[in-house]
Amino acid sequence: MAYQVARPPEYQFVTLVRLAQNGEGALLEKGDAVMTSIDSHWIPEIVSQFRKEYSHVPRFNMNTSSVEGGVVLFSSVGKVELAEEIRWFHKALADRLLDSQSVLETLTRKKLETQVEVAERGLNALKGVEASNLTDTGLLETLVSLKGRLIGMQPAEMRVVAQRKEGVVGLGLGIRLVLTVFQAFVLSVFVVLLYHFIRRVNRAVQVDEERS
């Protein structure tokens, strides 16, 4: 109880990264694969880099989770004085994720651009063909779909970096004060009882000495 009351307050720090999406609203990489890379590969590497940067291991926890809508959440709980270190760690991890997503986005975009070029060459080769016959080939519809997907692609984006959430994690200030008062009360009662116990023992000793 004394430790809970005396320890400095801790806060939650969160980082949000939106994953890259293709033009149809699907993720370029499945969420499970992303989380595996984060937890199994990138976090251990960044812990090693952190030790070189600050000469000690991180003094805060690091939790990761995927949120509905293609968003990855980094969460840490720590003291205010650790805010800079937490931000460094979160940003390093987010940058690694963004770099990986950027590679996937570039590959996907190039693939779509190539498909658009092929469709356009096919249409150019059919110049002079009646519109009804052109529609039957499906090339025009395919070209429109490919361009729509290309325009609709969304890159990965870091929304929030190590933002401190309002409110203390764990015991709030009010509870801390109540526990402090309660602890002081218990201590005072113990002191009083100990005082009376010692007095009774001293009296008993004096009585025995007088009888002897």
- According to the model, what pLDDT value does residue 204 have? 58
Residues 188 and 159 both lie in one domain: no
Q: Which long-range contacts (CB under 8 A, 24 or more apart) does 177-182 make?
A: 179/1, 179/4, 179/5, 180/5
More confident residue, 84 or 176: 84
The number of folded domains in the chain is 2
pLDDT-wise least confident of 11-20, 125-134, 159-168: 125-134
Q: What is the pLDDT of residues 163-179, one digit of tens each?
A: 999 888 865 444 444 43
Residues 162 and 208 both lie in one domain: no
pLDDT band for position 153 (cuts 50, 70, 90): very high
User: What radius of gyration do the chain's Cα atoms show?
Assistant: 33
Distance CA(15)–CA(96), nearest Å, equals 13
- According to the model, what pLDDT value does residue 186 have? 43
Q: What is the pTM of this model?
A: 0.72
Residues 13 and 49 both lie in one domain: yes
| Cβ atoms 85, 58 nearer than 8 A | yes
- Segments forming the whole domain that contains residue 68: 2-170
Residues 73 and 40 both lie in one domain: yes
Residues 86 and 162 both lie in one domain: yes
- Which residues 6+ apart lie within 8 Å of 55 measured at CB? none
| Cβ atoms 123, 141 nearer than 8 A | no
Measured at the alpha carbon of residue 99, what is the angle toward residues 98 and 101, in degrees to the nearest 5? 65
Residues 101 and 68 both lie in one domain: yes
Residues 30 and 70 both lie in one domain: yes
Nearest in space to 15 (alpha carbons), one of 154, 165, 169, 166: 165
Cβ atoms within 10 A of the Cβ of 54, count? 14
- According to the model, what pLDDT value does residue 123 have? 81
Residues 101 and 185 both lie in one domain: no
Residues 105 and 82 both lie in one domain: yes
